[in-house]
């Protein structure tokens, strides 16, 4: 389960749970979700082990009004054909 103090992975898992068998979700998130440990690390490992992560797209700083923090798009897919994850650095 996602930690109560951080809703990032609760939303990600909720989105994944509501996808159709061939569905995709693109979720804008802060890069911290890729580095935090504990329960979040376990959830990340689950997403990778079950081949749900289709792409990770790094976006530039200051892209969204009101925050200078860089953001990332996490693309999830159910029933991927290939066991590959695309990484795109669009931060420049």
Average pLDDT over residues 41-70: 92
- Taking the C-alpha atoms of residue 24 and residue 79, their distance in angstroms, rounded to an integer, is 10
Query: Could you give the dihedral angle defined by the CA atoms of residues 75, 80, 82 and 84, in that order, rounded to the nearest 10 degrees?
Result: 20
DSSP assignment string, 51-74: T-EEEEEE--TT-STT--S--EEE
86-89 and 53-58 strand pairing? parallel
Predicted local confidence at residue 80, as pLDDT: 93
Residue 23 has a pLDDT of 96
Task: Locate the domains of the chain by residue range.
Answer: 8-89
User: Does the pLDDT value for residue 49 go beyond 90?
Assistant: yes
Would you say residue 4 has pLDDT above 80? Answer: no
How many Å apart are CA 63 and CA 41, to the nearest integer? 26
């Amino acid at each position: 389960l996602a930690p109560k103090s951080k809703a990032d992975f609760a939303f990600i898992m909720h989105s994944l749970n509501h996808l159709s068998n061939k569905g995709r979700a693109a979720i804008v998130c802060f890069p911290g979700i890729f580095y935090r440990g504990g329960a979040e690390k376990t959830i990340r490992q689950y997403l990778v082990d079950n081949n749900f992560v289709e792409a990770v797209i790094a976006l530039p700083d200051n892209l969204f009004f009101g925050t200078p923090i860089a953001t990332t798009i996490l693309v999830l897919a159910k029933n991927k054909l290939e066991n590959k994850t695309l990484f795109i650095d669009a931060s420049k």
